């Protein structure tokens, strides 16, 4: 197995923020060190439209990451670009979102209003903790009157220090429920933000990194960019097991330290002495997988792991090796609706304890 780090094979990192690099602005343990240590150009591609790129860059510098506004791509920028292709220049737009979102719309030449009575041509909907019933109602009135509806993103949750808070998608759902209109979404999982990042740095071998299958990873797949999924945010072990082909990452790591691991370690496949087999499935799509452990096979595999990977021990832990082994079996076919993994021995049972 090659000792080369995953980051060595790429010339740009397209990094999600919430749940990947930080939680509510607080750096996730080891993330900053991993990004800096990779030596690879980093772009931050975020669905959170509540802050201007310059503000995000300042926050990144505050946790030890060198960044300026050009290193940040937000879904607010993508949403304004999308709506510009749908309505005439200079049109009135109603923006549900932060002041920075409104500033981006103004900079693009739009007349930002705050009432449906102004007859806006479009409603732009981005995350803002201050959004309430009154703002949502103005949006609903404008959309019912014919305004184009564009959301910066439709993430149902937002990872914060205390846990998963209400995301923009949950607020969008209220407007959709009231109007019957589903917005176009400019952010991930659409591919546009990834393509924009690649063009911005002229990358030929980018790697996308994220914590959420239905946005970060699905967006990378849509853009044709290899991806690394980290288990520090929204999507966990069993989410990966049931992932559809459109949401399957190339690599799976515990956290950002995976950038220092080899592709062979991080790729799905039998490893760590584990083996797996589907032992039952039903018409509803539920699958049962049996996980087994062989100590002799584990020794052979461990000997093949380069010494350079010792610093990333968490990525070769039994629970991660078991996960990649199970995924290799499950991903041979279409997605399961649900998955149950049963241990065949004590070592497998211990590995599965961490999946919860």
* Helices marked H in 124-167: 133-144
Which of 16, 155, 211, 255 is flagged as catalytic?
Answer: 16
Across the chain, which distance is largest between two alpha carbons, in Å?
A: 73
Query: What angle in degrees, to the nearest 10, is found between the helix axes of 99-107 and 75-84?
Result: 40
Tokens of 14: 């397209």
16 is catalytic: yes
Rounded-to-integer distance, Cα 166 and Cα 105, Å: 24
Which of 18, 71, 214, 216 is flagged as catalytic?
Answer: 18
**What does residue 269 show for φ and ψ, rounded to 5 degrees?**
160, 165
Q: Which of 300, 276, 305 lies closest to 290 in space, CA to CA?
A: 276
Contact 139, 122 (CB under 8 A): no
Rounded-to-integer distance, Cα 294 and Cα 315, Å: 19
Rounded-to-integer distance, Cα 224 and Cα 216, Å: 12
Strand 163-166, strand 157-160: pairing: antiparallel
DSSP 247: G
**Could you give the C-alpha distances from 303 to 17, 38, 317, in angstroms and in order?**
35, 25, 14
Catalytic residues: 16, 18
């Amino acid at each position: 197995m090659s000792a080369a780090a995953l980051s060595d094979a790429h010339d740009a990192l397209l990094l999600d923020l919430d749940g990947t690099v930080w939680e509510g602005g607080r750096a996730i343990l080891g993330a900053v060190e991993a990004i800096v240590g990779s030596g690879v150009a980093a772009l931050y591609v975020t669905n959170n439209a509540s802050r201007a790129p310059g503000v995000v860059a300042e926050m990144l510098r505050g946790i030890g990451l060198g960044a300026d506004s050009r290193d940040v791509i937000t879904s607010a920028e993508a949403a304004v670009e999308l709506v510009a292709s749908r309505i005439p220049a200079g049109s009135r737009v109603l923006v549900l979102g932060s002041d920075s979102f409104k500033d981006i719309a103004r900079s693009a030449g739009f007349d930002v209003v705050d009432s449906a009575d102004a007859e806006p041509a479009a409603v732009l909907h981005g995350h803002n903790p201050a959004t309430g019933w009154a703002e949502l109602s103005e949006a609903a009135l404008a959309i019912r009157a014919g305004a184009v509806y564009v959301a910066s993103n439709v993430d149902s949750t937002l990872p914060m220090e205390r846990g998963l808070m209400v995301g923009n998608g949950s607020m969008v759902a209220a407007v959709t429920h009231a109007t019957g209109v589903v917005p176009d979404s400019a952010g991930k999982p659409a591919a546009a933000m990834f393509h924009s990042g690649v063009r911005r740095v002229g990358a030929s071998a980018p790697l996308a990194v994220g914590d959420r299958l239905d946005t970060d990873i699905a967006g990378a797949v849509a853009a044709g960019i290899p991806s690394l999924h980290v288990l520090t945010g929204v999507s966990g072990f069993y989410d990966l097991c049931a992932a559809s082909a459109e949401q399957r990452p190339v690599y799976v790591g515990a956290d950002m330290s995976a950038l220092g691991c080899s592709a062979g370690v991080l790729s799905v496949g039998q490893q760590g002495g584990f083996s797996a087999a589907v032992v039952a499935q039903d018409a509803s799509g539920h699958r049962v997988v049996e996980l087994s452990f062989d100590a002799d096979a584990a020794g052979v595999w461990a000997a093949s792991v380069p010494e350079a990977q010792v610093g990333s021990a968490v990525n070769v832990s039994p629970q991660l090796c078991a996960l990649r082994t199970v995924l290799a079996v499950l991903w041979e076919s279409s997605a399961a609706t649900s998955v149950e993994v049963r241990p065949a021995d004590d070592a497998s049972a211990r590995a599965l304890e961490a999946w919860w």
